[in-house]
Amino acid sequence: MTPTTTNPKPNIFVQIVTFPFWLVWQLLSIILNLTGRLVAVILGVVLLIVGIIVSLTVIGAIVGVPIGFLGVLLITRGLF
């Protein structure tokens, strides 16, 4: 019986789909390294509040939802 080998290279489609998420996570890591954990969590809370306030209008939801999501990611990255 011969051992089966797995493909060491991931699928290019998976790399393309996950690249934006990886890029945002790297941006959050840079912010965390520059500011520190406490400031990153505070900045995340501020961005989350700003995102919620901007999302109260229909037109502002286009900008507010990504700002709020970035705030949640920053809080998560700062805590863990």
Domain holding 64, by residue range, is 42-80
Q: Which amino acid is at 28?
A: L
Q: Assess if residue 4 is contained within a domain.
A: no
pLDDT along the chain (80 residues), means of 10: 61 83 86 82 92 88 91 89
> 14 in a domain, yes or no?
no
Residue 44: its pLDDT value, please?
92
Q: Per the domain annotation, does 25 fall within a domain?
A: no
What is the 3-state composition of the chain as percent helix, strand, coil, each rounded to the nearest 5? 75, 0, 25
- The tally of domains found in the chain comes to 1
Give, as one character, the DSSP assignment of residue 2.
Answer: P
Q: Are 71 and 46 in contact (CB under 8 A)?
A: yes
Can you give the pTM of this predicted structure? 0.64
**Is 77 a member of any domain?**
yes
Task: Please measure the distance between the N-terminal and C-terminal CA atoms of the chain and give it in whole angstroms.
Answer: 45
CA distance 27 to 77: 11
